[in-house]
Structure 1
């Protein structure tokens, strides 16, 4: 049974699966924040740098295996696989949505 994700998250996951940077950026608000294992990226320019410098080169693709609502966030857990040490690694993605867009994303192990 496929996991049902809110549209902006589903769009992000789909674009990530294709390693499409523009598609990955599209569901985020202009001033969105990503906290990626302690590193903070804010705004479209920094998110683009994150995707272009840390996601695309290692072909990191996140595949949600479980999703739940928790404290107003959508929490997706699952493996990320790619050309990086330890692949696949299980991650937790905590999405904060605002007006049908991703306002914040916290990525942790």
Structure 2
């Protein structure tokens, strides 16, 4: 599967639990929507993913990728320390200038 570099980096940094490198996949003004909460900016995203890594130890395995007009969709098998693991999550990504501007998850 041919993923844009920033998406491949996101997968790699998630699977190595590197919250700093993960956050660096995002723009300074990026927004992440997860579990009913909004995380604004690279620093908040770094804190959010560090906490998430601590709690869930989630790893992701891409199973599909599609680029649409305004967003990219990454489908990934997500495994970790949570009920229902593993399951397929869809990552709704808006990528601008090779950085993620927004990320929202759907199941």
Using structure 2 for the length normalisation, give the TM-score.
0.91
Report runs of 4+ in structure 1 exceeding 2 Å deviation.
Answer: none
Unaligned runs of 5+ in 2: none
What does the per-residue CA deviation read over 1:34-61, in whole Å, with 9 as the maximum and x for residues that have no partner?
A: 1114321111221112111123332111
Unaligned runs of 5+ in 1: none
Partner residue in 2 for 1:23: 21
What value does the CA root-mean-square deviation take over the aligned residues?
1.3
CA-CA distance at 1:78 after TM superposition: 2.0
Q: Is the 8 A contact 2:24 2:42 kept in 1?
A: no
Partner residue in 1 for 2:39: 41
User: Which one of 44, 63, 66 corresponds to residue 65 of structure 1?
Assistant: 63
Aligned counterparts of 1:37 and 1:94: Cα–Cα separation in 2: 14
What does the per-residue CA deviation read over 1:43-90, in whole Å, with 9 as the maximum and x for residues that have no partner?
A: 122111211112333211122100111232110112110111111121
Using structure 1 for the length normalisation, give the TM-score.
0.90
